[in-house]
Amino acid sequence: MAKRFFISGRVQGVGYRYFALNTAEQLGIAGYAKNLPDGRVEVYAVGTAEQLRAFAQQLRRGPQFAAVTDVDEIDAEFLPASSSGFSVN
């Protein structure tokens, strides 16, 4: 399965993408996290339904200095190039 998450709030400049990276590595999720020009963070994630549920829960929490106000979650197309490892862009 693949999902895209769009995280809003105070999520840039607080280590959010590296939080997503560490969490993805712990859960065995592939994909990426990147800052968007509008202040949100986009996360693309590939994993099982159970892995993605656990990942979404952590994304809603965020790192210590973040203030997540909203997480939009949508089903995404599987991108083979993003199916191994997790990167921060």
The two three-digit tokens of residue 20, written as one number = 């997503």
- In the chain, the N- to C-terminal Cα span, in Å, equals 21
Cβ atoms 71, 56 nearer than 8 A = yes
Note if 60 is an active site residue: no
Q: Which of 10, 22, 35, 61 is catalytic?
A: 35
**CA 38 centroid distance within chain:** 16
Note if 89 is an active site residue: no
Q: Which of 4, 10, 17, 89 is catalytic?
A: 17
Active site residue ranges: 17, 35
